[in-house]
Amino acid sequence: MSARDDEIMRVVAELDMHVAEVEASVATLKGLLADGELPGEEG
Amino acid sequence: MTDVTGEILRRWREGHGWDVPRMARELRKAARDSGEDVAAHHGLVKMIPQWERGGRAPRERYRLLYLKVFAGTLGDLSDGMALGTDVALRLAEVRSRAARLPAPGEIKALEDAVLARPRESMTPAEIRALAAEAIAHLHEVAGKLAELSALLGEDTP
């Protein structure tokens, strides 16, 4: 892997982290809106 | 594959709303367009879940076919394989997810809708904080996408 690839992968990893944070927050909000339960919570 | 996991391939496929048979058809079409021989449809239908589960890694020609299938997401990256295959696939997967994120206004609307219905599991302050955090990360996403475009030498608006 070239140095450029390494740099791109670094930024992609950071991007991935931020995307995951948004996805998780939006999933939580949608879960609250849908039925008042947080995603993954049962019983 | 070293950097691209089967989970990414699965999320990538599902992100396009394709079932496994559709993914197989798309891979075979890409192969046909470039005059390559690949496994029969039923063979691919068996192999794709194996790749996605990580039980086995797709060979180089199939990884290249994935790049062709998702060329629209990859933009110019697949041309001439300017990037390593694994890097291009990973980049395309994350970009694809970023493109499907809601806009800040949509998150705000979601926040308002949740706040309109009082609930015990989260206080209004926590809900507002959660939405604000999501929007803050969304801005970071935009920044990282711009940084990537600059690294890749892409034209920016």
Domain that holds residue B129: 104-152
The list of chain A residues with pLDDT below 70 reads 1, 35-43
Q: Exposed/middle/buried for B57, CB within 10 Å: 0-12, 13-18, 19+?
A: middle
Complex prediction ipTM: 0.80
Is residue B1 a part of any domain in this protein? Answer: no
Q: Are residues B84 and B148 in the same domain?
A: no
Is residue B78 within 8 Å of B30, Cβ to Cβ? no
Q: For residue B101, give the nearest of A9, A22, A29 by CB distance.
A: A22
Confidence at B147, pLDDT banded by 50, 70, 90: very high
Tell me the C-alpha to C-alpha distance, in Å, between residue B38 and each of B63, B110, B157: 12, 46, 39
- Decide which of B81, B98, B115 is a domain's last residue: B98
CB–CB of B119 and A38 under 8 A? no
pTM, full prediction: 0.62
Q: Are residues B69 and B14 in the same domain?
A: yes
**Angle between helix B85-99 and helix B6-15 axes, rounded to 10 deg:** 40
Q: Are residues B11 and B59 in the same domain?
A: yes
Chains A and B form CB pairs within 8 A to the count of 99
**What per-residue confidence (pLDDT) applies to B157?**
47
In sequence order, what DSSP letters do the residues of B126-148 get, joined into one string?
HHHHHHHHHHHHHHHHHHHHHHH
CA distance B52 to B1: 11
CA distance A27 to A31: 6
Per cent of chain B over pLDDT 90 is 38
CB–CB of B3 and A9 under 8 A? yes
Q: Which residue has the higher pLDDT, B4 or B41?
A: B41
- Which residue, A30, A2, A42, is CA-closest to B107? A30
Is residue B157 a part of any domain in this protein? Answer: no
Q: What is the pLDDT of residues B74-111, one digit of tens each?
A: 554 444 345 666 777 788 888 888 988 999 999 999 99
